[in-house]
Structure 1
Amino acid sequence: MNRIRTSIVDIARAAGVSKSTVSLVLQGSPLVNDKTREKVNALINDLGYVYNRGAANLRQATSKIVGIVVNDLTNSFFAELAVGMDLVVQSAGYVQFLAHSGESIDRQRQVIASMRENGIAGLILSPARGTEANDIKPLTDSGVPVVVVVRNMPGAKVSTLLSDNCAGARAAVRHLVSLGHRRIAFMGGFLDTAVFAERVRGYREALIEASIPLDDNFIIHSAPSRAGGVAVVERMMVFPERPTAALCFNDAVAFGVCDGLRANGVEPGKGFGVIGFDDVIEAKTAVPALTTVSVDPQGMGQRAAQLLLKQINSGQIDQETIVTPVRLVVRQSCGAPVKQPEEIA
């Protein structure tokens, strides 16, 4: 027999024992009786099998590593998302390998390549702007399970977990309309992301439903950050006819909008209605408390991890697309009395 090709399976077949028994002998386990141990060791010597302990240790270690890549850890939403993932991953006996792409595709490619080299069991990815299916093809082609969260990735053979962005935006704008607002802006977010398009679609649908004329000037894009929210207000202040309320792309933008309003002598929740999107932990304790569309980031992270572990444990990569429901949480920033969360149909 060719020594290079000798494997544990060959040793097991020759000895008339299972592959796991041979593995136990190689590891020096006391669970194997002396007679079987001697027989297996003799065949190992005869057939010339070489035990690569380093490779075995690497296989054991990497089989319990889950890669997680998010696009913006400076945003509380993604930090809470990662916490939710970690809760599930750790309880299942895995360790998470967390990386932050910072919206850089090059950085994302580097960290995914590094994770692949370290033999991750699976990957959860919140993709950077402009990510395409080919960017994760080496992983999917090699059979590594991948779950994409938050942003969709058309053409990728992966499972996807998204929130109902359109329905959430529609419900938020409907609420502002019910409070008497007619000049409602959409503030923040990158134009070239699917999430932006979905939330703007819900915003537009609600305005059309209320017979409110669409004004593209009232869709004011910016970085989806607190600084982006401040910048949006500065641009709004020069409008000849300003909005009286806004749905913000996310909570980070909403916090910045509140900062910008105060800097211009306008009190959020009184002189201007503000609604965010995400419901991060700080939303409840902000002043004023932020009305927002709750995505439940920790819950979303837990569900993404459960979806990935299901594929890892089954050994099958089944493509699933799950859209999680959202709910409008009404607090003070929109100028309305505090009410119980409203479920979105």
Structure 2
Amino acid sequence: MSRSRVTVVDIARAAGVSKSTVSLVLQASPLVNEATRAKVNAVIRELGYVYNRGAANLRQSASSRIIGIIVNDLTNSFFAELAVGMDMVMQSAGYVQFLSNSAESVDRQREVVASMREHGISGLIISPARGTEAADLKPLAASGIPVVSVVRNVVGAKVSSLVSDNYAGAKAAVAHLVSLGHSRIAFLGGIANTTVFAERVQGWRDALVEAGFEAPDMLVIGSTASRAGGVAAIERALSLPAPPTAALCFNDAAAFGVCDGLRAAGREPGRDFAVVGFDDVIEAETAVPALTTVSVDPQGMGRRAAQLLLKQINTGKVEPEAIVGSVRLVVRQSCGAGEKAGRMSA
């Protein structure tokens, strides 16, 4: 191989790592473990590669109108709507978006962040994958790249955050179900190791306790926050010795699955069982029955996150701000508000 033509791709192939990992090694990033760093450096020496930092800086300067956006799951319409909201603001401000889907993988997220940094992003909006730690975001802040964490907060990361009032939303939803005559209300869907899950479950629990009802752990049934996860959760809920008559679901995707599972069990959502979601995605209003849900306005959230990032870019100040967005309960047919409560509580 001619040394004058050795590229980062050649090094990555020879070392058995990704191009982004090689870039991190060249940037002396702390995100790379020592064993991998040593292996990559050995290949660099063997192939005689010389890192042209001036050219790298020039590439970054030329790409200064690029914004990085990382979301958890683009198959979930909530995140698609969130990205649309960001695009509305960024496009009008003359920025190009570099959009990626982490699929809830921290490793994948690190690779994407490294690649985005290599392309000279001006800022990053990220909905952190489960398991993201402050150390994953601190290098960005330390390098002066503005970061906005949206949907989920990462404790100790010292970056700006925009989240929903998950606790208040869950409390309002459960209080509404209680007003319809329900006392055995489940919390269905979601994975336990996120702050969003913890906040929503706490709101569910406190609302039941304040109403004078029990909030047993057996009624908290976690699953993937997806339609399939909702189906699995309602199947488990209906198999309990004393099954619930209503449920607050972790998100709308799980709520749609709960409705599917209820029909498979011969029960009609909104008539035989009350269902409430969380998010208020576009499909919620047109679903049959229309889904009662806690609205966080995903597109609006995306716009606010983009505006917050642009503020930091334009002022040149990376000063963390923590914003908690208000939510509201949107009552439709799936909770049975138009039915006699006794039909579902019997």
d(CA) in 2 for partners of 1:146, 1:199: 25
Preserved CA contact (<8 Å) 2:61 2:120: no
Preserved CA contact (<8 Å) 2:60 2:118: no
Match of 1:188 in 2: 189
Q: Which amino acid aligns with 2:63?
A: T
Deviations 1:155-176 (A, max 9, x none): 0110000000000000000000
Note if 1:99 corresponds to 2:100: yes
Cα displacement (A) at 1:95: 0.4
Match of 2:273 in 1: 272
d(CA) in 2 for partners of 1:56, 1:250: 42
Q: Which amino acid aligns with 1:82?
A: A
Match of 1:216 in 2: 217
Cα displacement (A) at 1:60: 4.5
d(CA) in 2 for partners of 1:150, 1:78: 10
Match of 2:173 in 1: 172
Deviations 1:14-71 (A, max 9, x none): xxxxxxxxxxxxxxxxxxxxxxxxxxxxxxxxxxxxxx99678634531100000011
Match of 1:262 in 2: 263
Query: For residues 311 and 235 of structure 1, do their structure 2 counterparts lie closer, same or farther at Cα, with a shift above 3 Å needed?
Result: same
Equivalences, count: 287
d(CA) in 2 for partners of 1:176, 1:232: 19
- Matched residue SS, 2:208: helix
Match of 2:16 in 1: none
Q: Which amino acid aligns with 1:251?
A: D
Match of 1:33 in 2: none
d(CA) in 1 for partners of 2:124, 2:252: 27
Match of 2:148 in 1: 147
Cα displacement (A) at 1:337: 3.2
Cα displacement (A) at 1:214: 1.8
Cα displacement (A) at 1:141: 1.1
Deviations 1:304-326 (A, max 9, x none): 00000000011100110000000
Cα displacement (A) at 1:234: 1.4
Note if 1:203 corresponds to 2:215: no
RMSD: 1.5
Q: Which amino acid aligns with 1:264?
A: A
Match of 2:250 in 1: 249
Cα displacement (A) at 1:213: 1.3
For the pair shown, which has the larger CA radius of gyration, 1 or 2?
Answer: 1
Match of 2:111 in 1: 110
Q: Which amino acid aligns with 1:110?
A: E
TM-score by length of structure 2 reads 0.81
Match of 1:25 in 2: none
Gaps of 5+ in 2: 1-52, 340-346
d(CA) in 1 for partners of 2:62, 2:232: 47
